[in-house]
Structures are given as structure tokens and as C-alpha cells.
Amino acid sequence: MITITGKPVCSGIAFGPVFVFSREESTIKRHHIESSDDEIARFESARQQTISELGMLYDKALAEVGEANAMIFQIHQMMLDDLDYIESIKNIITDQLINAETAVAQTCDNFVQMFRAMDDPYMRERSADVKDVSERLIKILSGKDKDGLVTDEPVIIISDDLAPSETVQFDKSKILAFVTEGGSTNSHTSILARMMNIPAMIGAKGVLSADANGKNAIVDGFTGTIYIDPDEATINEMTKKKEEIDKQNKLLQQLKGRESVTKDGQKIELCANIGSVLDVGNVLKNDAEGIGLFRSEFLYLESNDYPSEDVQFAAYKDVLSKMVNKRVIVRTLDIGADKQVDYFNMPKEENPAMGIRAIRICLQRPDIFKTQLRALYRASVFGKLAIMFPMIASEWEIVKILEIIDEVKAELDSEGIAYSKNVELGCMIETPAAAVISDILSKHLDFFSIGTNDLTQYTLAADRQNPDIGKFCDTHHVAILRLINMIVQNAHKNGTWVGICGELGADLELTEAFLAIGVDELSVTPSAILPIRKKVIETNVSEIKESVLDKYLN
């Protein structure tokens, strides 16, 4: 048995034969031409055919993986209309009097090097798109058909890497899993694998030299492991694991589409916490009713400089479009404390958890805050957006935030940029101060989301990053539950709804308590949604309310 590990990009377990996918390398022969006009006409004909093929790929992807993921093929079409790209090819043909295939290859190399040299990881990934588009164009110019998947039975595909067009062209019914030596978690192939719900792993170094073609294998998409020629013990272990997962999937099918409503008719929204755009597929897979916490700081943590308004806009638009009018709550940047970013040039603090972090940075550096708010409001027309502000401790902070938002709206109005007039505004309740004045804060806001991780830390004076704190950081402490109860009561008096987005929200021992208190929403890791929904559906709040409140609040 050969065991190779890599990075998991889509969960699941697959058993089956291996198909090593290799594409015929296009050998480009450089040759002299007599007429640049004729060669440019040949290039233009191939370019139009390529655009047409990409249109067909878009239609196929639209049906299989949805509009947001199919858009990559529209982007590829746009690349073929890019004037810099076209002019480069035409100029090489004209100046060097060489064939179009060579001119496309030279232009491709130049553009790929340019993208790979960029600091932005998203833009670096676009080098693969340029290569994919150019190779398709060269094959059409050369009169060669695009390589495909040739198999009569479902297989585990192993390759060096896969272009988005190759991934979508495959017959989904013939694919058990993807395993690649290269690739990245940000690549379109990884995203498509998640949306197609096919187990996938990348970075499986050595898998192509393992002589695996035709051999049986097991792919564990949870751990990012492939077992080639697995032994009996591994087969039995993975079979049991798959059976357990299948049971969970059966539960998913039973609960999918059902409202999270108790036996006596009390509704609670079950939403998901995400840390990046890549998590949306898992949100939809687990039937979340929305996104209750989108941690926008990933845009800052994964960048070497402040992310531009356009980069942020693209990320927010992507998530809102994929969620199709389900509410998406974006938390404004929460940098500081345990999340440090070098280019922010923050001064060293003795106690960063209580220092300049989150909204305090935004109010001290309004230019950074305004850039994010502009991107958010621009994206708001693509879905149901709500914006949430972290680390609030005083009413004046909310007043100042609302003033800045009014300034941003005025700027957008003056520039003729559309934005939704129905963006809900809320704040995190994660400081004891915010909890105590929640009656005052609720007069300004549409919702609260209780961040129980920090609220517990600050209320109990117990550092949640310290592994030795142990029982001193009691998440079930009566003080925490009393604060949650007080926040809900204060908010409801002013028509403000309340969610919980900290880890406590996924604690099944407290689900009944949250229902009894009257919490309106729980936002948890996607995999926790269905177990909580099961608990909600099985609960009769009127029967347990008195005893539960007595247990946790007294």
C-alpha cells in the first residue's frame, strides 16, 4: 500500500480505480509566414471559435455548479477580448512574421510571468487562467481536439493540475474524486470540486510517480490522503468511516429544506460562520439559512498590503451572489489581539486583547474603514447584506460609525453608484459594557450578535488563549447566561433581534436554554447546523422553559 498526503479541498471518501489524466503537450513549431494579414485573420477566426466554446462551457457549468462558479468562463471570454492580450499577439505576428501559435505562446508566457509576480494571491492565481485560455486557443489553431476523460467506469482522477475548463468538461457521473500534485485551495478547480461535492485533495507530491493508473485507491477528502492499493485494515477502517458519513448525509437529506421550528412553533434561524469565500459551498451543502458571521479579516490576513476597494467588493459580491438572497452578515475587520497584520504597523501592546483592535482601529483610521464600507455597500445590490461592527463598548462608537456610513452613502450617491437601501446594521456584543448598555445600543441598530468567546473572556477575566486556564474559563457560567438573557430582553424591547455567533452557539447542551431565553438566531460552523436543527425540531419550549431558565439563570 502506498499512502500519500496532501491538502484537503473537499470532504468525502471515494473508493475506486485510478485514472491518470495527462494532456497531450502541444508542440509549437515556430515558422516564418508570408502574410501577416492572413495570419492575423487565422488568429481572429480561432479566437472567435474559442469564445464560442467557452460560452458552451459556461452553459454546462451554470447547470452543474451555479452562476457564481460558471462566471470563470465569462472571465476567460473577457480575457480573449482584452486589448493588451490581442495587440500583443498581433504585434508579434506582424513584427516577427511568425505563426499565430508561436505568437500566442509568447504572449501567454509574458502574461503568466506578469501575474505570478504580483503580490495579491488572487491575482497570482489568474496566471492559471491565462494559461488555460491560451492553450485552448493554441489547440484550435493547431487543429487538435481538447483532451478529455476517456473511461467507461467512475474513476479517481489523478493529475499534475486541472484547469477549470478541464474540470467542467468531465462527465461528473464518471468522477469519484480529484487528486492533484499541484494546485491551491484558492484555485477555481478547488472551488468547482467543492461545488460539485466531489472529494478532492491537492499537493499530493509523488502521486504521479506512484504508477497508480488502473490500480484501486481510496481518497479521504477529510484528511487529504490517498491510499493506493490499500490493505484490508485500511479498507475496513475507511469503509466504516464512509458508512458513518453516509448516515450523516442521510440525516442531511431528511432535514434539508425544513424550517428550524420547535414543536410549539418557535422559530430560530440557523446560520453559518465562514472565514473566506471558499467556505460558501459548505454553507449551502449543510442547508444554512444564511451566513451569520463572515469574518472579513481574511482579506487582510492573506494580503501583503491593504486590500483595495475592488478586491473587497469582488469577495463580498461573490458571497452575496452565491447565497441567493439569504442574509449575509459581514463583520467589519477585526484585526488586533491574536490576529496581527504586519503592514498595519500596530504598536506593540502589553495587553493587545484590550488594546487597539477591531472597531477601535476603524475609528482611528477612517480611511481603511471607509474603503471597506464602500466595497460592502457597492456589493449590497447583489444580495441581502447586513453589516456588523465588532468590539463595541460605548454608544458614541455607534453614533460615529453611523456618521461615517452616511458619508460613504453620500459619496456613492454623488458618484452615481447604486447600493441597497435595506442594509441591516448591527454590532457584536462581546464586551460586558456592551451587554450592560444593550438597551441603549439597540435604539440605534437592527440586530445584535453575541460573540460568546470574547464575552466569556472579558466577563470572567480569563484569557481564552491560555491553555492552563481550564475550569476558570467556564463557558456555562451563570454570569454569561444571565448576560445573554439580559441582552435579549433589552433588544426585544426596541424591536432588535439577537443572534449568537460564538462557539457557545453550537453547544447542544445549551440549545434549549437559548430557545427558552428567546434567542432569534444561532450562527455556527456549517457542520453543526443539522444537529442543532434536529434538537430544535424535537424541542417543545413551553414545556421546558421554566425548568431550563431555573437551571441556567438561578
**Residue list for the binding site for phosphoenolpyruvate:** 295, 331, 453-454, 464
The string of DSSP letters for 48-109 reads HHHHHHHHHHHHHHHHHH-HHHHHHHHHHHHHHT-HHHHHHHHHHHHHH-B-HHHHHHHHHH
Amino acid occupying residue 382:
F
What is the C-alpha radius of gyration for the chain, rounded to an integer number of angstroms?
A: 27
Catalytic residue among 10, 188, 271, 362: 188
d(CA 154, CA 150): 10
Burial class (CB in 10 A: 0-12, 13-18, 19+), 65: buried
The string of DSSP letters for 116-154 reads HT-S-HHHHHHHHHHHHHHHHHHHHHHT-PPP----SS-
Query: Annotated catalytic, 501?
Result: yes
Closest CA to 371 of 425, 406, 408: 408
Q: Cell 487529504: give the residue.
A: 224
Closest CA to 265 of 548, 543, 549: 543
Per the DSSP assignment, residues forming a β-bridge with 177 are: 156
d(CA 61, CA 84): 28
Could you list the residues known to form a binding site for Mg(2+), using ranges.
430, 454
Beta carbons within 10 angstroms of residue 347's beta carbon = 7
Catalytic residue among 10, 108, 271, 501: 501
Beta carbons within 10 angstroms of residue 92's beta carbon = 21
Cα-based angle 414, 415, 419 (whole degrees, multiple of 5): 90
Whether 206 contacts 184, CB under 8 Å: no
Could you list the residues known to form a binding site, using ranges.
295, 331, 430, 453-454, 464
Cell numbers at 216, concatenated: 484501486
Beta strands in 380-530 (DSSP E): 384-389, 424-429, 447-450, 497-500, 521-524
d(CA 348, CA 340): 10
Residue 524 backbone phi and psi in degrees, to 5: -135, 175
Query: Annotated catalytic, 427?
Result: no
Residues involved in catalysis? 188, 501
